[in-house]
Amino acid sequence: MVKPMPSPTSLPLRLLDWYDRNARLLPWRARPGEMADPYRVWLSEVMLQQTTVQAVAPYFLRFLERWPSVHALAQAPVEDVMHAWAGLGYYARARNLHKCAQVVSEWREGHFPDDEDALRKLPGIGDYTAAAIAAIAFGRRAVVMDGNVERVMARLFAVREPLPAAKPTLKGHAASLTPETRPGDYAQAVMDLGATICTPRNPACGLCPWMDACEGRKLGIEESLPAKVEKAEKPTRHGLAFWTVRKDGAVLLRRRPPSGLLGGMMEVPSTPWREGGAWELEPARAEAPLNAEWRLLPGLVRHTFTHFHLEMRLATARTGNNPLARGIWCPLDQLGDQALPTIMRKLVRHALAKAY
């Protein structure tokens, strides 16, 4: 006897039943059926933008311990917030996080708005984050779309159109399933389904509560979905950084401009990052933070950003106790207290290994 296909209205209920038994235990998440703290939801969702759960969890716990409320975060110096964020990447998120905390603390008396339109007006909150906060923190029916949800919808409905063009279609399918009841739990359930069962490779279809409704599985094309347009190869940029050591052992750092890539973070002074080949030492001297006897260190430091690869050479020099240079002199044992992004930490490690 052929089993009848499940009706679309039964799919959310089945998924919620699966979630009640299989929800991931995450530090920002309330138990199924309970309302979450809006501050925790907002903080976690901003951190989770383009970053994995595994990477975010320790940062979230440290932030929460240091700044347990939106008022506390709003009152913190932005330099402290940037330092606490260092290593998590996409540093504009940290600047917007602090700005948003100040707006909510000062103008909304610490209360986040509970609807998507108002949430989108806050710094750093776009469509996805607004929908996630509205659904998870306030129980609003909102369509939450991240990469996990897109993958689940593409397979469930066998959407062959490649991303990003398929996004409106996938959101339409997601909207058709989003229930009025427990929309926050449902949103988290779909994301959990994509993260733990409907994975990019080797999906565990036999454990999926939507297995018998999945059109992609019936056609045998589930692992090929969602289709994606092949990305252009990332260009490679080049830079040369200057590791300047004062007579007392301190090294020179400077703060990057407040806007743009790595805005507001501390850096080892360097040339501009350009395409077209590595910097040689002689032309790079014009970008050095001071006049000194520079020498190149062996090896390269490599890092990949969202839109390009970066290759950095490192030059080092020693100087007297009071040289004229823009920046701050940081003792070696205090480098860990600086807001150094990952690329700069790599440069520090390279310098410590090669310059001493």
Active site residue 267: no
Q: Provide the whole-model pTM.
A: 0.82
Amino acid identity, position 158 = A
- State percent of the chain over pLDDT 90: 77
pLDDT digits (tens, 9 = 90+) for 65-104: 999 999 999 999 998 999 899 888 888 899 999 999 999 9
Dist CA 171 CA 148 (whole Å): 12
Domain 10-224: homologous superfamily in CATH: Hypothetical protein; domain 2 (1.10.340.30)
| pLDDT of 6 higher than 60 | no
DSSP string, 275-331: SSSPPPHHHHGGGSSS----EEPSS-EEEE-SS-EEEEEEEEEEE-SS---SSEEE-
Q: With bands split at pLDDT 50, 70 and 90, how would you rate the model's confidence at 278?
A: very high
Active-site choice (34, 45, 161, 230): 45
Number of H helices, E strands in the chain: 14, 7
| pLDDT of 266 higher than 70 | yes
Amino acid identity, position 98 = H
Select the CATH number that applies to the domain covering 236-354 from these four: 3.90.79.10, 1.10.1070.20, 3.40.50.720, 3.40.50.2000: 3.90.79.10
pLDDT top residue among 122 and 229: 122
Dist CA 136 CA 182 (whole Å): 9
Dist CA 74 CA 124 (whole Å): 14
| pLDDT of 161 higher than 90 | yes
What are the sequence ranges of the domains in the chain? 10-224, 236-354
